Amino acid sequence: MNFDISNISDLLTEKLTKWVEGLIGILPNLVLAAIVIAIGFFIAKWVKKWSFRFINRVSHNVTLNNLFTSVIYFIFIGIVLFTALNILNLDQTVTSMLAGAGILGLALAFAFQDIAANFMSGIFISFRKPIKIGDIVNIKDYMGKVVDVNLRDTVINTFGGQTVIIPNKEVFQSPIENYSYMGQRRFDLEVGVSYGENLERVRQITLDAVKGIEEISKDKETTFFYEGFGDSSINFTIRMWIDTADQLVYKKVGSEAIIAIKKAYDANDIMIPFPIRTLDFGIKGGEKLSEMQVNVANGKGLDS
């Protein structure tokens, strides 16, 4: 029993001696690694601060700026930690960590590919800026005002009172009609007049009728074009520019134009013809319509 205790004591002493010697041997590297980590964290905060200022000059998207700043910060911290591990001669650990990070990143990319696609699309949208908050747009058949553009989706309030959340992947890959981009909109009004009217007179009266609408642009000319011969009318389009993209103003201009043109036509005896339809009952001369209805009921009339 004494022999066993003595043997165990020698083994423990030997192990402790080796650990102490190893600790003493690695102590300079440990101190150096600690210094590197301390200085590295200090520099990382400085890099984060200045990178945010620089990125803020390029982009005014606060969410995107914070994202890029955080990415730069964590990359720098990662470099500091890997440097410290290398000083401690833990190269194998560094290699294992890098391999594990790569495998984990690949697995996450497959698992969250849709989220990643929306995220990357949000970044591109933030840089290209095809839309911004307050714009009136038409995306994926949804028309309304943009109320939020974040890194994952775009939020639109439609003019019908619904809130539509569109993933940024679809926004980035779809055509975007931005009515606010130029700060102007054009209202096209299609009208038809009778074949018996003087077309030059109609054009002048129509243009004079809409001049009094306050919201129509004074800088861009209102234009009038005859488009073609209809079944019962000669059709034209009058195009009016508005110096705002606001939907209410756009609708108001159209409404005021219809009222003004109708009043002007009534005052000048210009006729907007009703559509004319000719109904052919296949009645021969001398037959009564009532008799034809009986024949149809008996299956002897025209096929329906």
Whether the per-residue pLDDT at 54 is higher than 70: the answer is yes
Q: Tell me the pLDDT tens digit for each residue of 232-280.
A: 899 999 999 999 989 999 999 999 999 999 999 999 999 988 776 655 5
pLDDT confidence bin for 138, thresholds 50/70/90:
very high
Whole-prediction pTM? 0.60
Q: What is the rounded CA–CA span in Å between residue 114 and residue 128?
A: 21
Query: Chain-wide mean pLDDT for the chain?
Result: 80
Beta strand extents in 47-92 (DSSP E only): none
Q: For residue 53, what pLDDT is reported?
A: 81
Residue 80 CB-half CA count within 13 A: 19
Among the ranges given (154-158, 226-230, 233-237, 275-279), the one the predictor scored with the smallest mean pLDDT: 275-279
Beta strand extents in 99-158 (DSSP E only): 136-139, 142-149, 153-158
What the chain holds in terms of domains, given with CATH numbers, is 2-111 (1.10.287), 132-178 (2.30.30.60), 184-304 (3.30.70.100)
Residue 214 and residue 276 in contact, taking contact as beta carbons nearer than 8 Å = no
The residues, any chain, with a CB within 8 Å of residue 98's CB and separated by 6 or more, are none
Whether the per-residue pLDDT at 11 is higher than 70: the answer is no
Torsion of Cα atoms, 47 then 50 then 51 then 57, to 10°: 180
The DSSP-derived string for 111-128 is HTHHHHHHHHHHHHHHHH
Q: What is the rounded CA–CA span in Å between residue 139 and residue 206?
A: 34
Q: For residue 242, what pLDDT is reported?
A: 94
149 DSSP 8-state letter: E
Q: For residue 144, what pLDDT is reported?
A: 93
Q: For residue 6, what pLDDT is reported?
A: 64
Q: What is the rounded CA–CA span in Å between residue 148 and residue 204?
A: 45
C-alpha distances in angstroms, 178 versus 31, 42, 123, 150?
A: 60, 45, 19, 18
Whether the per-residue pLDDT at 295 is higher than 50: the answer is no
Residue 148 and residue 111 in contact, taking contact as beta carbons nearer than 8 Å = no
Whether the per-residue pLDDT at 111 is higher than 60: the answer is no
pLDDT confidence bin for 140, thresholds 50/70/90:
confident
Whether the per-residue pLDDT at 206 is higher than 80: the answer is yes
Residue 77 and residue 44 in contact, taking contact as beta carbons nearer than 8 Å = yes
Q: For residue 2, what pLDDT is reported?
A: 47
Residue 67 and residue 150 in contact, taking contact as beta carbons nearer than 8 Å = no
Q: Based on the number of CB atoms within 10 Å of its own CB, is 140 exposed (0-12), middle (13-18) or buried (19 or more)?
A: middle
